[in-house]
Chain A
């Protein structure tokens, strides 16, 4: 876990990490969310509807933005204050997703950092983008 202090942060600072999207993650997220939509859980149904396989929950892949701020940038001192996510295309089990974040704004008065986040699939195509607002505590 990173532990960037407010003073350590600067515009353009960037982090990146990879996460393989697994069957287990889908099962656990279905249980947590109670979202049992067959597009996420039924391979045949997903294929019948034009997808190459089960579609990963958008909120599952977006939960990686929580890891982005809580573990990487700024890490330990983060308090997630808001996030606007735009979904671009589906992700699928087996995809190794690349999650990245870049500091785009720093508000000194309230120690709020803003990040531009994005998740891309192995082909380099966008899964989602996010505008993320994070407080940085002492």
Chain B
């Protein structure tokens, strides 16, 4: 799955979990520039992403992520394994 396809899958997940129907997700989106992306929402996002892509994240992988673009890269790596 390429990065654009992964972004397209993430868009409705973020909109749903954060309850932001009009959210326009970009690779630069992160917890500082997206409304409501707090620590508990982050856990909800991670779980929703794991389920959607059938993958499991390690805490160390998640700690290093700076934005959605890096999350997309990580998903791409994990789904290609």
Contacts and interface: CB of A to CB of B under 8 A. Distances in A.
Contacts of B51: 105
Contact of B50 (A82, A107, A133): A107
Interface residues of A, number: 11
Interface in A104-133: 105, 107-110, 112, 114, 133
Contacts of B43: 81, 107, 110, 112, 135
A114 B44 CA distance: 11
Among B43, B50, B58, find the residue whose CB has the most chain A CB atoms closer than 10 A.
B43
Contacts of A81: 40, 43
Contacts of B46: 107, 109-110
Contacts of A109: 46, 56-59, 61-62
B48 to A, nearest CB: 10
B47 interface: yes
Classify chain B's interface size.
Answer: 10 to 19
A115 B61 CA distance: 25
B22 to A, nearest CB: 23
Nearest to B63: A109
Contacts of B59: 108-110
A81 B42 CA distance: 12
A108 B56 contact: yes
B47 A105 contact: yes
A114 B47 contact: yes
A109 B71 CA distance: 15
A109 to B, nearest CB: 4
Interface string B40-78: 100110110011000011110110000000000000000
10 contacts: A82-B40, A82-B44, A105-B47, A107-B43, A107-B50, A109-B46, A109-B57, A109-B58, A110-B43, A133-B44
Interface of A: 81-82, 105, 107-110, 112, 114, 133, 135
